[in-house]
Amino acid sequence: MSPAVMPNPFVFVRIRFVHFHYTDNRAGSPMYYVALLLKGNAKIVSSKTTLEIHPGDVFFIPKQLPYQSYWSGQEEIEFLSYGFLQTQARESLRFGLQVVDCGEALKREIAQIPTEGTTPGCEALSRFYGVLARILPALQKSSPFSRRDEIVQQAQNYISAHPECTVSEIARACYISTPYLHQLFREKIGCGPNQFRLQLKCQRGIEYLMTTDKTVEEISGLAGFCSPAHFRRQLKLQTGLTPRQIRKSNGF
């Protein structure tokens, strides 16, 4: 009987993309991650959170979280990623996806942790655990899923299933008023229902661009846009890139 293969407990890497990159982690994050974005911008989308990340931000991704990420930049996108499977500290790591509020000194310490792949040495581990001990108290624990969270989730699911619905139709489906729907969306995800719908359509369009050879005309219809021109315009606003640039950045 062959011995079981144990997963690597650490993955410390410097990651670079050019212009744009899409990552599908809807199966769930394989590790906990502490990361520092050096260049470019990112958007990480989970069922409860849409996280906007900018250069200089430190962010935390919990293990087993299903999410999709969208990375964009005028030139190079670069970030430091420190993945770990578990910690022996007494903290349970019941924390949600978030940008970590930490000072410039701590960010410099994070940037000095060697990125040595799956076999970090003693110095890298020592620096990492020193940083992690200071980050954990700054992390916000996942809040209980409230009734308002449930309403927003219900509305998001309705928009996903009915991309051409009106805001009043969404509100009726959730048994709330239209003004209250707008209030909840801005409070919970930082934008209105219509803007969320456009973001969702763009995300669908990006997935088709990255995973199929369908034409832009076909994709614009599949993603729910009224025309290829509208799709191109919204994609440019969301990512700063054209469909061709997105495909080229992924080697398609």
Q: Answer yes or no: do 24 and 63 share one domain.
A: yes
Task: Give tens-digit pLDDT for 51-99.
Answer: 999 999 999 999 888 888 999 888 889 999 999 987 655 556 678 899 9
pLDDT recorded at residue 3: 40
Q: Is the pLDDT of residue 232 over 50?
A: yes
The tokens for 104 are 């410039």
Domain that holds residue 194: 147-249
**pTM greater than 0.75:** no
> Same structural domain for residues 37 and 131?
yes
Q: Which helix (H) or strand (E) holds 235?
A: helix 228-239
User: For residue 76, is it within any domain?
Assistant: yes
71 in a structural domain: yes
**Which are the contacts of 180, defined by CB distance < 8 A and separation ≥ 6?**
171
In a domain, residue 3? The reply is no
Apex 164 CA angle, 161 and 165, nearest 5: 80
The pLDDT tens digits for 125-170 are 999 999 999 998 888 876 556 788 889 888 988 888 888 889 999 9
Domain assignment present for residue 67? The answer is yes
The H-or-E segment that residue 42 falls in is strand 41-45
Same domain? 103 vs 52 = yes
Across the range 185-190, mean pLDDT stands at 84
Provide the token pair at 134.
Answer: 């200071």
Give residue 1's pLDDT.
Answer: 35
Region class of 248: left (phi > 0), else alpha (psi between -120 and 50), else beta: alpha
pLDDT tens digits, one per residue of 90-126: 556 678 899 999 899 999 999 999 998 888 999 999 9
Question: Looking at the 3D structure of the chain, how many domains does it have?
Answer: 2
Shared domain check, 62 and 43: yes
Same domain as 204, residue 134: no
Residues 132 and 60 in one domain: yes
Does 100 reside within a domain?
yes
Mean predicted lDDT score pLDDT of the chain: 86
What per-residue confidence (pLDDT) applies to 144?
Answer: 59
